[in-house]
Structure 1
């Protein structure tokens, strides 16, 4: 096997670890709450502290990869995430656990954009890159399948700390594999850090993420939330002003001259808006309405995730036959249609009613993998880190916005229905499914227009490289 495919295995394993950590913990939250005596707010911050730091620092992680080399930053991210996982698993208080989760977010912010940057460098040929991204994406789908089931098993049979401690041997093994397989052979780019750009972008994203996470609980018109939105807007304007004058801007605006990059990033954001909230609310629906246990609810997602992972690996062949735009549009159509069909299942529904539409949803999800490859196509090594960071930030921010908006719609619909609690929840859930399905269908024309290959893309310039052979 070529060494670069082993390197892809290391990159994929690192990504799998971060995704598994995010999926495995939710099932164990009630156990953690009882053991550490946490309030509901404290419990929420176990999840929110990770998301806040992760989303807020992803652009920073991408820039660091472009300046210092993707290999170095990937290994640093692994070290931070592994050490923080050990601290989280051994935490004896809610404060210690929340702090460790925030540090995990730092590690993930270094790992995620760097992983895609490494794939871009390892596989410069578009066809091979598409297959590599398919393998990488399949790891995310596999984590969706294994995460809830693993979390359920650990919470029922072991100490909850093992949901974080399992990352330690994975992190050590991944680091050893990456040190051997990922060659330090790519030239670094001679670029400054753009500290004003780093500071203003991180401030804007941290403030916006905080407002979206806490807005419902604190009140959208409360002083802290309005202040956070105001800070996000001010920092965003400052970032734009800084970047317009910077000799070496953090985000080169030439990226957005690429129709594929801009349209693909927008399509990815719309997709995240439509589906992030559905995962969260569907778990509640399975348990509170259809009567599944937490472990059964986790297991219900396994066939969908496995199909998604299988199709992800094969999606490059589909896109080669249909074109990326048509493939992504088909994936959006399948996911949207599946969501619409799920909205018709009542309180007496069974898993046999749910399974066909979960499988259709998984099939559509696997076909969306070429979207990531399309966004990264044409990105030179010196831009791939920030390009990956922009893509991932759009997904996280749009996804949080989707959870916020769909959650508000569900709450309002529940209140307006006036029925019994379960009936009111079902009515609100079904209404949000219709909205989410419509959002996904709205992304189809965007994908068809921006991801077609009928005209040449303007080139994205490669920054000046440092001396050849500089270690990454």
Structure 2
């Protein structure tokens, strides 16, 4: 009975983390409306979460080796719950939301890295695979429930409740984990095996990377160049220390394995594209198509239901054929999805939209399992835990770039389009209405909030300009994503041409959860 309670308690955290992945993105238009948030601020609401996850994932893994997995997991769950409570109950500015989301992302990093380990260790050896499969199913269910749940909450209760929902469930998970998960502190207690002096260089380099990627549209070129150089120098020092020290935060020598590096690059491309999709789609549906929050959530079901159904089946397929073929199929479907979104326009059939969402969902469900299996079978078994840590860190970096580049392209391209179209149309607009038009064109605001409704001809002309500029920017963004996805397809083909690893040998394919 105890093992099922452990699965339930840890599963709650997995469910909440995956609910938040889609719910918070769905709430982005609400943040823009209530706080007057710019495109850059909207980006930071997502990027701050991903930044914290990337920064602390490996660090919390090292801490778990020293103080115990249970304690680090519970610390992460408390961080996630308390930050959710603050977001829902007290946050009153965009800056507060961004900071609290950073804390929430740190909690996510501590729980994600240890959830599967704690679940697997609660079951006997012959049931570990089953327990891991149930955990993956919970992940898919969380993603599937996110859009309709988020749409309903946003439509009828308000955005604060998407965070307050985490509090009672998070508290239940913490209490059950405290009572029923075995305390491993005694067996784990040993000196922290970590190059502590190298951590600041890692965090500084990551911070510079995030700053530059998010400030490209506003900061001076000289400032960005100086920060980029400082970040590169810090990264070089960190890598140098990692190669020389016996216990680095990140074992960069793993990247010398071509198979391991190829799998990581494929997953980074996927997460770059996924983060771009999940950032753009809610803004597109609510601010351009003028869908309600609930309707937007229901549309996203085309994607998340596919994830929920495919993820559990993907493991069985991979057991039979290995991870390489499913990886190629996934990246090919992702290209189809990007191609479908490339042709979106005012007159595009909704069937194209459905195809794009569904193909993306199938790709997501299949590739998640395939790449996790891929990284664990491309390195020695003793390095599996470290390999997973580095894998998730770099995957989060890919997601950060996806959001940052999406915001940059939509903002820059739409701005240039609006300027050109306003000059051609000779449409006289006062500064507040002009600013609202630029925000509507990049998708961060609905044109209905421009204050032009009282002048029907001007409102109609402004709407046409904003939407034309947005579709132009969206087309360029998705074309870039499609081309990048083709690179992923090429890398997947390279994997097929490599010598089969032990992942191709049938039963050995089951993922072994490393003992941290």
Cα distance change on mapping 1:255 and 1:426 into 2, 3 Å = same
Residue equivalent to 2:204: 203
Deviates more, 1:373-382 or 1:301-310: 373-382
SS for the counterpart of 1:215 is coil
- State the Cα deviation string for residues 297-329 of structure 1 (Å, max 9, x = none): 222111320111111011011112222100111
Count of residues in correspondence between the two structures: 454
Partners in 2 of 1:333 and 1:126 — Cα distance? 35
Which is further off, 374-383 or 396-405?
A: 374-383
- Structure 1: tracts of 5 or more residues without a match: 458-470
Please name the residue that 2:500 is paired with.
454
State yes or no: 1:274 paired with 2:291.
no
Residue equivalent to 2:404: 404
Q: Give the RMSD, CA atoms, in angstroms.
A: 3.5
User: Tell me, what secondary structure is at the counterpart of 1:301?
Assistant: helix
Q: Is the 1:290–1:349 Cα contact (8 Å) retained in structure 2?
A: no
Mark the structure with the bigger radius of gyration. 2
Matches within 5 A, 1:415-426: 415=416, 418=420, 420-426=465-471
Within-5 A mapping of 1:371-450: 371-377=371-377, 383-411=383-411, 413-414=413-414, 415=416, 418=420, 420-450=465-495
CA 1:114 to 1:443, structure 2 compared with 1: closer, same or farther past 3 Å?
same
| Conservation of the 8 A alpha-carbon contact between 1:117 and 1:384 | no
Of 159-168 and 406-415, the range deviating more from structure 2: 406-415
Q: Is the 8 A contact 1:134 1:314 kept in 2?
A: no
Q: Is the 8 A contact 1:290 1:350 kept in 2?
A: no
Moved more, 331-340 or 45-54: 45-54
Q: Which moved more, 1:191-200 or 1:164-173?
A: 191-200
Q: CA deviation at 1:39?
A: 5.0
Cα offset for 1:21? Answer: 2.7
Question: Over residues 408-457 of structure 1, what are the superposed CA-to-partner deviations in whole Å (9 max), with x where a residue is unaligned?
Answer: 44555543695533123213322322321232232134234447662469
**Kept in 1: contact 2:262–2:495 (CA 8 A):** yes
Q: Secondary structure at the match of 2:215?
A: helix
Structure 1 position 175 matched with structure 2 position 174: yes
Q: Aligned pair in 2 of structure 1 residues 308, 46: CA closer, same or farther (>3 Å)?
A: closer
How far residue 402 of structure 1 moved from its aligned partner, in angstroms, is 2.8
Q: Distance in 1 between matches of 2:301 and 2:114?
A: 28
Are residues 1:249 and 2:248 paired?
yes
Name the stretch that deviates more: 399-408 or 307-316: 399-408
Deviations 1:184-219 (A, max 9, x none): 469538552321132222222222123223333x23
1:66 to partner: Cα distance: 3.5
Q: Deviations over 1:335-388 (max 9, x none)?
A: 211221332343123434422332222222211122112213477897555433
CA deviation vs aligned residue, 1:238-270 (integer Å, no higher than 9, x gap): 111222221222223453354443222221112
Superposed CA deviations along residues 26-63 of structure 1, whole A, max 9, x for unmatched, are 4444555666x565466655444333323322232232
Structure 1 window deviating more from structure 2 (327-336 vs 228-237): it is: 228-237
2:383 equivalent to 1:338: no
- Give the secondary structure class of the aligned counterpart of 1:192: coil
Are residues 319 and 86 of structure 1, via their aligned partners in 2, closer, same or farther at CA, if it must alter by over 3 Å?
A: same
Q: Which moved more, 1:381-390 or 1:352-361?
A: 381-390
Q: Give the Å deviation of 1:140.
A: 4.0
In structure 1, what is the Cα distance between the partners aligned to 2:177 and 2:417? 54
**Residue aligning to 1:310:** 309
TM-score of the superposed pair, with normalisation by structure 2: 0.76
Report the CA distance shift for 1:362/1:27 in structure 2 as closer, same or farther (over 3 A). closer
The range that moved more, 117-126 or 69-78, is 117-126
| Equivalent residue number for residue 214 of structure 2 | 213
Residues 376 and 384, structure 1, Cα contact 8 Å, conserved in 2 = yes
CA distance in 2 between counterparts of 1:285 and 1:93 reads 25
Seen in structure 2, the aligned counterparts of structure 1 residues 207 and 143 have a Cα distance that, compared at 3 Å, is: farther
Larger CA deviation: 254-263 vs 233-242: 254-263
Partner of 1:194: 195
Q: Give the equivalent residue in structure 1 for 2:49.
A: 50
What secondary structure sits across from 1:292 in the alignment?
Answer: coil
Match of 1:65 in 2: 64
Q: Distance in 1 between matches of 2:322 and 2:24?
A: 38
Q: Indicate if the aligned counterparts of 1:194 and 1:248 stay in contact, CA closer than 8 A.
A: yes
CA contact under 8 A between 2:54 and 2:396: conserved in structure 1? yes
Structure 1 position 86, deviation (Å): 1.7
The equivalent residue for 1:468 is: none
The 1:303–1:238 alpha-carbon spacing in structure 2 relative to 1, beyond 3 Å, is same
1:366 counterpart residue number:
365
CA contact (8 A) 1:86 1:168 kept: yes
